Structure 1
Amino acid sequence: MYFVDRSVAIIKPRAPFLAWLRTVSGEDMIDLTLDSLRADCTAMLLPEFDEPEQAVAYIDEMAEQLFRMELASWHEDESAWPADISLLAFWQWFDVEFHSMVLDSVDADILNTPTTEL
């Protein structure tokens, strides 16, 4: 195993995200629960930070992009997205867990594939 010079943020949807998802998906998502929605979430590598506030500030800078990415991963029609995707709305719609210790258990290079910009 190898220590990685990164930290991790886990982006976890909250109740407003689930409520929105049910409105745009109709009957398809009626049985979806918040627990199941939060069971497999987006994990992001971040730079290492000395203080938790630095990690929060880093997420703040990209909150709108993250918000768009999370919405698009469930529903691509932007006209159905919420009108408010501000920083405040991001923190109302998502919890973010930060983890400072990252280990790589694979003895191989990491393949970097860029995401599309939203």
Structure 2
Amino acid sequence: MEPIPYYYESINRNAILVKPRKPFFKWLNEVFKDEAPVTSMEENNLYLVREMASNEDVEKWVSKNFESIFTNELNDWCTNEDEWPAQRTYKLFKEWFNIEIHSMILDLEEEPVLKE
């Protein structure tokens, strides 16, 4: 039996977990009226950003860079930009998505991380 390691290497990133809220699902179900309603997700997107000193710093980063995350979340479900909300503000982003910030990103694998 392999011994349990007491230390895993951490990755120099913070993670931002983005979870859709009811207003997002309302929009999604209006766009795709003829399909079965979506009310929750089993999986959510996790965004890695450079390591920052505090979760507050990551929150500030999100407030300045939310547009790219918002765009990606919308595009994952609907590629027709005409269906997207015209005014994608930070306020709307916060209404449509909960975010969780995580600072301890531990790599349990020996293989290098690959980007696609």
TM-score by length of 2: 0.86
Shift of 1:27: 2.9
Mapping of residues 9-88 of structure 1, within 5 Å: 9-30=16-37, 32-33=38-39, 36-37=40-41, 39-88=42-91
Unmatched 5+ residue regions in structure 1? 114-118
SS of residue in 1 equivalent to 2:32: helix
Aligned mates of 2:92, 2:36 — CA distance in 1:
22
Aligned mates of 1:71, 1:105 — CA distance in 2:
31
Unmatched 5+ residue regions in structure 2? 1-7
Aligned mates of 1:61, 1:102 — CA distance in 2:
23
Task: Figure out how many residues of one structure are paired with residues of the other and give that number.
Answer: 109
Task: Write 1 or 2 for the structure with the bigger share of helix.
Answer: 1
Identical columns (%): 30
Aligned mates of 1:10, 1:23 — CA distance in 2:
25
Aligned mates of 1:29, 1:58 — CA distance in 2:
35
Rg comparison, structure with higher value: 2
Shift of 1:50: 2.2
Q: Is the 8 A contact 2:55 2:103 kept in 1?
A: no
TM-score by length of 1: 0.85
Aligned mates of 1:70, 1:100 — CA distance in 2:
22
Moved over 3 A (4+): none
Shift of 1:14: 0.9
1:116 is matched with none
